[in-house]
Structures are given as C-alpha cells and as structure tokens.
Chains A and B, each alone.
Chain A
Amino acid sequence: MLTYVIRRILILIPMALIISFLVYLGLELTPGDAVSHMISPEMMASISAERLDALRVSLGLEQPFIVRYWIWLQGMLQGNFGYSTAGGVAIHAILADRLPATLELSAVALVFSTIFGCVLGVISALKRGSTTDNVLTVTGMLGVSIPEFFFGLVAILIFALKLQWLPVGGRLLPGYDSYWDHLPHVIMPALVLSIMMTAGVMRYARSSMLDALSKEYIKTARSKGLPEWRVNLLHGFRVALTPVIVLIGFRLPVLIGGSVIIEQVFQWPGVGSEFISAVRSQDYPLVMMIALLSVMAVLTASLLVDILTALIDPRVRLDK
C-alpha cells in the first residue's frame, strides 16, 4: 500500500511542476513584471528607479528565465504568492480570507450530492424498469440540463424574495459570527450547487449498482439465504461504491467550476467570486494564482481518489 501511494505521488510531481511552469510563463507574458507583483503598490510609489533596478538585480530578474522560475517556485513553496495588481493586497492574504468560504460551500454540496446521489441511484437500480426508475432517470436528465445559475435565480426568487425564508445571498451579516448563523446562508447555494452533481452521481451509482447486482456472488449470497437488504447493501453496494468514489473525485473540477458561477449568483464571498472579479479587472497575478491553486486542488483530489479506491478495492493496488 505504501509503495502504491509513493508511486502515485511521484507521478504527480512532474505534472505539478509543468503546470506551475506554464503559469509562470503566463505571468511573464502578461503585462507587468515580477517586481510589480512582489512589492505592494504603496511601497512601489516611494521607491526610486535606481533602487527598483537594484532590487531587480538582487531578485535575480536579469538572470535567465529558468533561474527566475526557480526563484519564483521557491517563493511559492514558502507561501509568497505575490501581490494582486488591483488592490495591491498580498495574494496569500486574499486566499486566506476567501478560501474558507469556498471550502465550506463545496464541502456541504459534496456531502449533499453524494448522499442523495447514492441513495437515489441505488433505489433506481433496485427498482429497475419501474415507474420510480423512469421518473428518477428523467429527473436526473433535467438536473444536468438546467443551467445551475438559472436554478439559483429561481431559488432566490421563490425562497428569498417571495417566501422570505432564506437570505438572498452573502455569507454572514455583520455582528453574527457563530456557525449557526451561517446555516441559512449556506443552504440555498449548497443545494443548488449539488443539483447537477447529484444527477451525475445518481446516474453513475445506478449503472454501477446494476453491474454489481448481475454478478455471480450476488446469486451465491442470495442462495445462502441472506436477507435481501444484506445482499443489496453489503454485497452489492460495497462493490458498486468504487466507481462512484472515482466519479466524485473526477467531479471535483465540476464542483469548483460550478462554485465559480454559483458564488457569483449568491454573492458568496469565496475564491470563485474573487476569481471572476480578477478576470474582469485583468488582475493577472491573482487570476494565475487562483488557477494554479485550483489545479493543485484537482491533482490532490485525484491522488486521494486513487488512494481511496486502493483501500476499498485491493485489486487496484496490485495493478501495474
């Protein structure tokens, strides 16, 4: 198991390096040079041109591209992400401020969609061909076909504007900061965000469950006289779970992508809405850094998925 994990990590490192290199290349090609990304604008105003040049030399900016990349990478690893050109704020401070909100939203959506998706998918598979199954299948199709932000708009209209049960958007009112004060704010965006993913998980859970139920050992388990729920859940669902976990891992990009738009619809103060305003104001350092961060999140998620599948299904470990 340990060698498997180590091998996975070793595959990941060159990938992360290449992508960070591309991001650095992008930063070099877009307007503004590294000094302006590293020094906050207030300081920049009070520094003379000679000192800036001296600083460029001391930072190694006259050195070849590869060396500059190496210096930048070292800074990145120490948490020095540079400065946003729009506000002159350190990017790590922006991320520290915005990341918890996005993680909160994504985590709640992930939990919702996994539970709903698995339960509905298994029900649909066990009642294959019935009206319930057909209704669930068509509902799932609707779920992936309606744009998420449109769902969000309808939800805001009904639950926030007409019924006034939930707030229109935002994360916290000033003065309220306990976790329970978040709850009414997070429910609507998280549910809307999880709709598309629930539909995907459901579809996948259904076909994976059908696949598992057609196996020989299910017949064996039945013929041993085990109760039906044991056959379905312990023998069928456990095996069916592996592809579902893989799907959830691969859906992480979708979740991050979805949260960009949903955060904007609900004015959720997360990384996604920050990303959009950075794209609007062409704040390249911030855009690149958030993109790099999301890639790293995806790569880490795929690593975790690999490890989890190996834990659940021992055959994977022995493969290759």
Chain B
Amino acid sequence: MSMTNTTGRKTSRLDRQFDLIRRREEAGQLTNPRGYRFARKFLSNRLAAIGLLIFTIIVLVSVLAPLLTPYDPRAIDLRNILKPPTWAHWFGTDKVGRDLLTRVLYGGQISILVGLGSALASAVVGVLIGCYTGYVGGWRDALAMRVSEIFMSFPQIILVLLLVAILGQSLSNLIIIFILTGWGGIYRLARARMLSLREEEYVQALRSFGLSTPIICYKHILPNALGPIMVNITLSTAAFILAEAGLSFLGLGVPLDIPTWGNILNVAQDLRILENNWWVWLPVGIVISLFVLSVNFIGDGLRDATDPTQQG
C-alpha cells in the first residue's frame, strides 16, 4: 500500500515538473538546455571554476598591461639594476633595470598568444584532416595516418628543435613549428571519433538524402565529436605554453628581444642570478605554473562536463 502511495506521489510530482518544463518550452525559455547543463556542471566542479578564475585574471591583466603599468617592458634604466621588489617595482628589476612586473604582463601576451594560438590552429588543421579522411576512409585515410605516424614518432622537443635549426628563430616560425608538431594528436582523436560516428544511422540517412560529404562530416558529424576535441585543445594549450617557456629558457624559442615568460626566465641560467636575485625568475616561474595549472583544471572540468564516463 505504501508503495503505490509513494509511486502515486512521485508520479504526480513528476507530472507537475513535466508540465512546468512543457510550459517553459512553449514560452521559449528553454532555448539551450544542453549548454545550460554543461555550464552548470562545469562550474559545480570546484577546481574547474578556480581554474577559470585564475585563467581569466591572468589573461585580463596581460591584455590590459598597457593600462596597468606605467613602465615600458623594454625601457632600460641603468640606475635601477637588479633591485629587489619595492612599491615602485612590485617584482623588482632585472639586469638592465627593466621593470619585471611589466615584463611578466607583456610577456604573458606573447606566451598566451603562442600557446592558445598554436593549439587552436593545430586543432583546426587536425580536425579538418581527421574528420574528412576518417569519414571517407580508403587511401586518403591511410596516407594521413602514415604522415601523422611519421610526425609522432619524433619526440616532440627533438622535432621542434630540428625545425628551429632548419627554419630559424622567430615568433611566427615558432607558431608554425608548434602547428606542425601538434596537429597529429587532435587529428588522431578526430579520426577515431569519426570512425565510430560515421556508422550511426543518422549519417546513413543524411547520405541517402544526397548531402555532400563535406556538409555531412563538418556540419552534421563534427559537432558530436566536439567534446573531446575541446578538452584536447585546452591540454595542448598547456603543453605549448610549457614548450615555449622551455625553448625560450634555452634561448631557442622566441627571439630574446621580445618579452615572453620563457625569455624572462632565460637569465636564471646564470647561477649568480639564481642564487642572489630570486625575484628575477621566481615570480615569473610561479605565474607560468599557475597559468598552466589553471588551463589543466579547465581541461579536466571540460572532460568531466562533456563526457560523464570519464568521471573518476
């Protein structure tokens, strides 16, 4: 008796909820329920929300650098060499008296541009190739697969340095090199998703309607593969920022006259600076770590929000 009672109560409550949803739908208030649920899920992940906050702050202060700091990142001031942090220079000054906070902010612009830009561009290349060849299969697929295998059998940094040696050092070369070495991962992901999605019935239906191949694969299948691709873009942004920092630290990344996070750290190869002038390298290292950490948190949150099976 109690069971029928509870089920009865439950159904009536569900009925009421359903009516509510239907009313909202008719009123046009439920425009994008999927996106809404996604955003709520993402933000309810505490680490992802913290990540997004840190990410936004660092991006904002970097972009707004000219408004936030009175100094020029390249202005040399030989009367203030290697000064520890003061109220005038929050992060102190470097070997030639440049304000380090200013350099960190302006450096952020380039480092984030290189990281995010290369990740987005290599995703576009990888997705364009992966979706198409994965969908049509045959020799195009086999060819693309072999080419990506060749790229991926090089350890990434070895290939990057090899290309730096051949192409020479510049900001645009570095981005090109990152795209060349980075497209393979996203290509494979897009291709793998495509192989399973192309067997779905709606794809057969689209094909029988006579839609062209590019429209089927880019407009109708691609959106279903977007979740893991977004996650991969975030994670490769983190990887590219670390790579830029590493290369510039070695003096082989962005040319030294452009301030980037890696280029600021470059001077820490000098043991005297390492030991006596911590403010030159420690804050910028922490900023890089924080930024990459926030990107990784966002990536994790995105994965949990887009793919519930990966939740651990």
- Seen from chain A, the residues whose Cβ lies within 8 Å of a Cβ on chain B are 15, 18-19, 22, 26, 30, 128, 138, 141-142, 144-150, 153-154, 156-157, 161-162, 168, 206-207, 210, 252-254, 256-258, 260-261, 264-265, 275-276, 278-280, 282, 284, 287-288, 290-291, 294-295, 298-299
Contact = CB atoms under 8 A, between A and B. Distances in A.
Interface string B261-292: 00001001101001100100110010011001
B149 interface: yes
A55 to B, nearest CB: 27
Contacts of B246: 147-149, 261
Contacts of B161: 260, 275-276, 279, 287
Contact of B250 (A146, A153, A206, A264): A264
Q: Would you call the interface of chain A mostly helix, strand, loop, or mixed? A: helix
Interface residues of B, number: 43
B164 A253 contact: no
B265 A161 contact: no
Contact of B155 (A22, A149, A156, A256): A256
B153 A295 contact: yes
A261 B249 contact: yes
B238 A26 contact: no
Contact of B166 (A30, A138, A142): A30
Q: By CB atoms of chain B within 10 A, which of A26, A138, A256, A261 has the most?
A: A261
B252 interface: yes
Nearest to B276: A161
Contacts of A252: 155
B162 A142 contact: no
B157 A260 contact: yes
Contacts, number: 130
A295 B292 CA distance: 28
A157 B285 CA distance: 14
Contacts of B166: 26, 30, 284
B242 A153 contact: no
B184 to A, nearest CB: 12
Given A275-B161, A276-B161, A147 B289 contact: yes
A210 B166 CA distance: 46
B28 to A, nearest CB: 41
A257 B149 CA distance: 18
A252 B238 CA distance: 20
B144 to A, nearest CB: 15
B121 interface: no
Greatest chain A CB density within 10 A among B154, B155, B156, B312 is at B155
Contacts of B165: 278-279, 282, 284, 287
Contact of A145 (B159, B238, B268, B269): B238
B156 A257 contact: yes
B195 interface: no
Contact of B156 (A19, A141, A253, A288): A253
B77 to A, nearest CB: 25
B47 interface: yes
